[in-house]
Structure 1
Amino acid sequence: MKVIGLAGWSGAGKTTLVCKLIPALRQRGISVSTIKHAHHAFDVDKPGKDSYEHRAAGATEVLVSSGKRWALMHELREEAEPTVDELLAHLSPVDLAIIEGFKREAHDKIEVWRRSVDKPLLAGEDPQVVAICSDGPVPEAAALPGGTRPVLDLNDVEAIADFILAHCGLAAKLTQREEA
């Protein structure tokens, strides 16, 4: 499974880009899963639901299943937050896993950056940022430690998908599928 991250400050457009990339990649025959980092205490469950009551009673894991989907909830309690690698181990095999957030983890990332968010480039301190997607020019990209990163138009989802496929070595897989 190949992995690419989308990192950036809150409000830069990471989720919007992920939601556009998934169908663009799937249309090309690439299977995709995602891992989304939540910055706040979040809950996918509600008080009064049986699964919530199981967790409240002390279950470490609760798996909820129906004919349409299943979800596994794991209570960390006193455990540390899992790393991206630990979370990836829970995914079924796919061609590409897109990691949204986890900007401090060690994996290749595309930074989603907007001048209007008024935050510095992550690429200035993270050599694993392999490209920058922006809605405008990024003059700072030419003076980054470790060298210039490609700057992609945030609104050109097809070009971003092409970059990801080439960077992750999946472009050859598309050629093989087309020849088959």
Structure 2
Amino acid sequence: MKVIGFAGYSGAGKTTLVEALVALMKARGLKVSVIKHAHHHFDVDREGKDSWRHRKAGAYEVLLASDQRMALMREYAQPTQVSVHDMLAQLDPSVDWVLIEGFKHGDVPKIEVWRQQQDRLNKGKTLEPLFPHDAMVLAVVTDDPDQLPAAPAQPVLDLSQPQTVLQWLLAHADTLEYKN
């Protein structure tokens, strides 16, 4: 399987880009998995449902399965940092691609998604790009290259052209093969 991360600040457009790439890859007959970083407390089942009741009763893991999907929920007694590699190990190894959204400091190859308007969404903080100092950033995707805080040494791709991002990924597929 090939693995690529999409890193960037809130509001940069990571989710929209990953969504478009999944659809484009699926249209090409590729099998794609996604790992998404979530913040702290989140739920995938609803209060009162059997799976929710099992978790609330103290189950360490609850696996839901039907003829159309499967979901595994695991409860940690203490806050636990799970690495991207731990999550990759949970996935079906027969997938063609894994797109990882978030985990900007993860040690996997990644594309940085940068949009100037993200400053407003991040409470006016000065946001430092990853690409100048993170060797794992292989390309930068942006809606306005002139607004990048520095000139990247990496290729710059157009955020509004997910097909071009896909072409770049396919051209570099051999270097994105997961080896862990």
Shift of 1:81: 2.3
CA contact (8 A) 2:7 2:113 kept: yes
Residues 68-83 of structure 1 correspond to what in structure 2 (within 5 A)? 68-78=68-78, 80-83=80-83
Over 3 Å off, 4+ runs: 138-141
Structure 1 alignment gaps of length 5 or more: 171-180
Structure 2 alignment gaps of length 5 or more: 120-126, 176-180
Question: Which one has more relative contact order, counting CA pairs under 8 Å at least 6 apart?
Answer: 2
Counterpart of 1:108 in structure 2 is 109
Query: Normalising to structure 2: TM-score of the pair?
Result: 0.86
Cα distance in 1 for partners of 2:58, 2:40 equals: 21
Cα distance in 1 for partners of 2:7, 2:20 equals: 15
Query: What residue identity is the alignment partner of 1:100?
Result: E
* 2:43 corresponds to 1:35: no
CA contact (8 A) 1:30 1:95 kept: yes
Counterpart of 1:44 in structure 2 is 44
Residues 113-152 of structure 1 correspond to what in structure 2 (within 5 A)? 113-118=114-119, 119-138=127-146, 139-142=148-151, 144=152, 148-152=153-157
- Aligned Cα root-mean-square deviation (Å): 1.8
Deviations 1:60-90 (A, max 9, x none): 1001122221211111222622111110111
User: Number of aligned pairs?
Assistant: 167
Shift of 1:100: 0.3
Counterpart of 2:169 in structure 1 is 164
CA contact (8 A) 1:4 1:168 kept: no
CA contact (8 A) 1:141 1:149 kept: no
Query: Normalising to structure 1: TM-score of the pair?
Result: 0.86
Counterpart of 2:122 in structure 1 is none
Deviations 1:78-127 (A, max 9, x none): 26221111101111121110000011110110011001213221212311
Query: What residue identity is the alignment partner of 1:117?
Result: Q
CA contact (8 A) 1:141 1:151 kept: no
* 2:16 corresponds to 1:16: yes
- Give me the identity figure in percent: 50
Cα distance in 1 for partners of 2:2, 2:36 equals: 16
Query: What residue identity is the alignment partner of 2:26?
Result: R
